[in-house]
Amino acid sequence: MKTLISFLAFFYSVHTFSQNNNNYEQKLDEYFLALTEIKNFNGNVIVAKNGAKVLDKTYNITGENDSLKINHNSKFIIASVSKIFIRYGILKLLEQGKINLSDKITKFIPDFPNGNKISIEQLMDHKSGLPREIKDYEKYDHLKLDKIIELAKRESLEFEPGTKTLYSNVGYFVLHYIIDKVSNNGYWDFMQYEIIKKYKLNHTGEFNNTQSISDFAYGFSTENGKIVPVSRNSINRFETGNYFSTIDDLYLFSQQLLTGKYIKKSLALKMFGEKGVLIQAGGRPGYRAYYYQNITSKITFIFVSNYTDIPFQEVTGDVINILDDKPYEVPKKIYKNAIALSPEVLKRYLGKFELEADKTQTFTVSLENEQLSITDSDGEKTKIYPESEFSFFDNPESKDSYNFINHDGKYNLVIISTGITLKTIKIE
């Protein structure tokens, strides 16, 4: 009888688990199909819970350029998701006894300004004080690592190291350099052996070191409501540690990371934050990627996309809500209507605004023929239309918006782009 009861309990738990997974799969598939239908997603998705895949599917926007179409084996530029590999490389050098996380930059780059204040750990955790980007980085193409470091030396600290957190690509350039100098045969040989070979990531590589890539997914974006390929210059622009990969390779890495087979589990756990979550988003013109691995909830969520116009923050939040059985909304098509505002109201918002997270990025709001426009640091000018007295849009079918917030009589600009909130401060 006890054996029968145990069997029935096991059967019931497995049956319930299977039913739950089927329910999650249905909800997730409905969500991404709706997102694709309104042309807000094009890519590959894997979602897993408790070690089992809940969703593993390709989503294609239809009726567009044939080159936008991808398949399960497509290779995507993963942009800053590459930082996961750089972080892993640093921890592997720690395991090999070649570095300490408390080591300062000056140990590896003696003349780096303020390098005696900045530790490897602060670089990894975005607490170095170094800015988000190298100034005018858009002007450079295919820079060598030594030149990147020379440019990084010219940057000033945004704050005293260790006192704040500010996402910094510059800091990860320095980590890349440290791996290159400390490992036996340089950065790329080290990363190929320790990650790509050991983890059997057979469809992963560094974009800037590759002549040609089979099944490569070319990047697309939207211009004036139309889906168009991004410029080849933006595809080729310099980025250190800029990997391409497939959805299966990234998932394979997530499955093996904590096994202790290739790196001590105690060190692998340092990849994760205090709440046991490893999150890394990636984005550049034509590409979006996301890696989410939660030790506590046992949820893994990864997507790769060759399309920019994704409500990033909204999607990532909704997927986790679905798996946590929390409320969410299925995406639906929207259309915003412009209203008329007097020139007196529009003139309140004129001026130059600086992005809080990256002071090199500015936005200038101007008024021409009773029409507001925003010009960014690259000189790209965008017309915006009022939806209300304080909120504007550039595409009536997008949730993106430009919002002017009154702060002590001065209006600051808050930009919501692909679901990400970007705060600015008026400087002129």
Same domain, yes or no, for 164 and 249? Answer: yes
Whether residues 361 and 272 share a domain: the answer is no
Q: What are the tens digits of pLDDT across the range 279-303?
A: 999 998 999 999 999 999 999 999 9
Distance CA 57, CA 43 (A): 9
Identify the pLDDT of residue 21: 66
Could you tell me if 313 and 367 lie in one domain?
A: no
Range of the domain at 363: 343-426
Asked if 244 and 359 sit in the same domain, the reply is: no
For the chain, give the percent of residues with pLDDT over 70: 92
The verdict on residue 211 lying in a domain is yes
Task: Give DSSP secondary structure letters for 382-410.
Answer: EEEEESSSSEEES-TTS--EEEEEEETTE
Residue 227: other Cβ atoms inside 10 A: 18
Which residues is 184 bridged to in the sheet?
A: none
Task: Give yes or no: residues 239 and 288 share one domain.
Answer: yes
Q: How many residues does the chain have?
A: 428
pLDDT at 204 over 70: yes
- Note the pTM of the prediction, 2 decimals: 0.84
Asked if the model's pLDDT at residue 190 lies above 50, the reply is: yes
Are 207 and 307 contained in the same domain? yes
For 100-159, how does the pLDDT look when each residue is reduced to its tens digit (9 = 90+)?
999 999 999 999 999 999 999 999 999 999 999 888 776 766 678 888 899 999 999 999
Q: What would the mean pLDDT of 312-316 be, rounded to a whole number?
A: 91
Burial class (CB in 10 A: 0-12, 13-18, 19+), 366: middle
**Residue found by looking up tokens 């008329």 in the block:** 340
pLDDT band of 1, cuts 50, 70, 90? very low
Given a cut of 90, whether residue 201 has pLDDT beyond it is: yes
Task: Quote the pLDDT of residue 381.
Answer: 85
pLDDT at position 8 is: 45
Look at residue 287 and tell me if it is in a domain.
yes
Model pLDDT for residues 26-46, shown as the tens digit of each residue: 999 999 999 999 999 999 999
Six-digit token pair at 250?
A: 């990234």
CA–CA separation, 363 and 380 (whole Å): 10
Q: For position 390, which CATH number holds?
A: 2.40.128.50
